[in-house]
Amino acid sequence: MGIGAKESGLLVIDGNRLVGNTIGVYLDQSPLDPREENRIERNVIAGHDRAIVIHGGSARNHLVANELRANDVQVALEGGGNARAAEWRGNYDDYRGYDLDRDGIGDLPHEQRSLAAAWTQRAPALALFRGTPALALAEWLGETVPLFRPETLFVDETPRAH
């Protein structure tokens, strides 16, 4: 694990290079105190099985201008986690949209969805199949067949475009 936070508030995680761990950033009920916030900014989070794991709530977490590259799963939820309550802004990840005005910001919001991630969260033993054609097929189904469309994990209104 690159950085793990359990019930921690007032964190400023800024300008780090977290590379090659199983988990890049793990947020477990952080921050616990409703008067506190956490800022996770301008970090490179790359080469992990799971870049960011949220256990429980994500409110009052600000994930801004991070680079999430070459991770098997960008955002994973555990313990009834909810990533939508966090602020996601200006992150660079697997955004597949476009930038017609070439300002470096995607023209459409980035909505992260992953059928394979949803399945592995419900049945962790399926993580054995990460990187295999079986979970690649699950991702394809989640993207193309409305019946299998997973719920949105988070929305970044201003994703950095590739």
Q: Give the count of domains, the chain.
A: 1
Q: Does residue 23 form part of some domain?
A: yes
Q: Is the dihedral of CA 125, 150, 22, 94 positive or negative?
A: positive
The two beta strands, 61-64 and 50-55, are unpaired
> What's the confidence (pLDDT) of residue 5?
97
Q: Does residue 161 form part of some domain?
A: no
> What's the confidence (pLDDT) of residue 129?
82
Q: Does residue 24 form part of some domain?
A: yes
User: What ranges make up the beta strands (E) of 90-133?
Assistant: 110-112
- CA–CA gap between residue 55 and residue 78 (Å, rounded): 5
Tracing tokens 């970090």 back to the chain, one arrives at: 43
Q: Does residue 111 form part of some domain?
A: yes
Q: pTM for the full model?
A: 0.83
pLDDT 10s digits, 54-76? 998 899 999 999 999 999 889 98
Can you give the residue range of the structural domain that contains 34? 3-156
Q: Does residue 94 form part of some domain?
A: yes
Q: Does residue 162 form part of some domain?
A: no
Give the range among 18-22, 38-42, 61-65, 130-134 with minimum mean pLDDT: 130-134
Q: Does residue 131 form part of some domain?
A: yes
CB atoms under 10 Å from CB of 6, counted, come to 12
Q: Is the dihedral of CA 25, 28, 34, 35 positive or negative?
A: negative
pLDDT 10s digits, 68-121? 999 988 998 888 778 999 999 999 988 888 899 999 999 999 888 777 777 777
Q: Report phi then psi at 112, rounded to 5.
A: -85, 120
Q: Does residue 125 form part of some domain?
A: yes
Q: Report phi then psi at 129, rounded to 5.
A: -95, 10
